[in-house]
Amino acid sequence: MSPILTARDVTKTFGVQPALRGVDLDLHEGEIVAVRGRSGCGKSTLLHCLSGIIRPDGGQVHFRGERLDDTGEAHRSELRRTRFGVLLQHGHLVAELTAAENVALPLLLGGGSRRAALAAAATWLGRLGVAEAAEQIPGRLSGGQSQRVALARAMVTQPEVLFADEPTGALDSLAGELVMQLLTRVAREQGTAVVVVTHDATIAAYAERELVLRDGAVDPTGLGVAVGTGA
């Protein structure tokens, strides 16, 4: 089976600082891949290049055979709205909207009716165990509830790929594991492929495969640290 998303020799430099140095990745349908490594090794930059948030300086990114890295921002943002889901560390819910309205938002932006969008939002909030939060504004939710609402919003369009950047980074370990269990369960149920950035090995263990970065390159040892000779 051919991969749905590929990165080939992707490079990105900010100023004089190389953030990515020739990264390759194949993501297959329904596969969950963790991108791990120390702070500053390029994990978020890779996620941004894969999801089309930024364009790499070199190399290529393809989604279902279509080249992403040289297409314009309008098309890339359309892809993110319709075929990708994005989940960030703090969820970034809209403070003035209820949880249900937050989850309905991607469907409303896509031209769906308010009634259908809110019905889908209620279904997703139920699936993620936060039905009771539907009418609350984000300020009234716990960190774990907020991330589950944000996950519902990322999944409501039934994306083909979910990009998650430190989705449990702001949570204590118990709440973080619950979010990760739910994320992997719904992704598998929907057949959604996932790229999850984390520095936490416990969270990475939920993935089927790990890509470890070190100084912007894939670390073939998978350790993410310089291995001395001991000499």
Residue 207's nearest CA partner among 1, 27, 79 is 27
> Which member of 22, 112, 199, 210 binds ligand ATP (CB under 6 A)?
199
CA distance 109 to 98: 16
Under the binding rule (CB under 6 A), the answer on residue 33 touching ligand ATP is: no
Q: Contacts by 55-60 with C-beta closer than 8 Å and gap 24+?
A: 56/10, 56/11, 56/12, 56/20, 57/11, 57/12, 57/13, 58/9, 58/10, 58/11, 59/7, 59/8, 59/9, 59/10, 59/11, 59/22, 59/23, 60/6, 60/7, 60/8, 60/9, 60/10
Pairing of strands 32-36, 209-214: parallel
> Which member of 40, 129, 191, 222 binds ligand ATP (CB under 6 A)?
40
How far lies 12's CA from each of 19, 194, 217, in Å?
6, 22, 11
> Contact region for ligand ATP (CB under 6 A) — 40-48, 59-67, 100-108, 130-138?
40-48
Under the binding rule (CB under 6 A), the answer on residue 42 touching ligand ATP is: yes
Q: How far apart are the first and last CA of the chain?
A: 45
Under the binding rule (CB under 6 A), the answer on residue 41 touching ligand ATP is: yes
Shorter beta-carbon distance to ligand ATP: residue 24 or 135: 24
Under the binding rule (CB under 6 A), the answer on residue 17 touching ligand ATP is: yes
Under the binding rule (CB under 6 A), the answer on residue 44 touching ligand ATP is: yes
Shorter beta-carbon distance to ligand ATP: residue 134 or 197: 197
> Contact region for ligand ATP (CB under 6 A) — 34-42, 72-80, 116-124, 202-210?
34-42
Q: Are 49 and 12 in contact (CB under 8 A)?
A: yes
Under the binding rule (CB under 6 A), the answer on residue 90 touching ligand ATP is: no
Shorter beta-carbon distance to ligand ATP: residue 6 or 45: 45
Under the binding rule (CB under 6 A), the answer on residue 43 touching ligand ATP is: yes
Q: Provide, rounded to whole angstroms, the least separation between the CB of residue 42 and ligand ATP.
A: 4
Under the binding rule (CB under 6 A), the answer on residue 14 touching ligand ATP is: yes
> Contact region for ligand ATP (CB under 6 A) — 12-20, 21-29, 105-113, 143-151?
12-20
For the chain, give the longest Cα–Cα distance: 68
The residues that touch ligand ATP, with contacts defined as CB under 6 A, are 14, 17, 19, 37, 39-45, 199
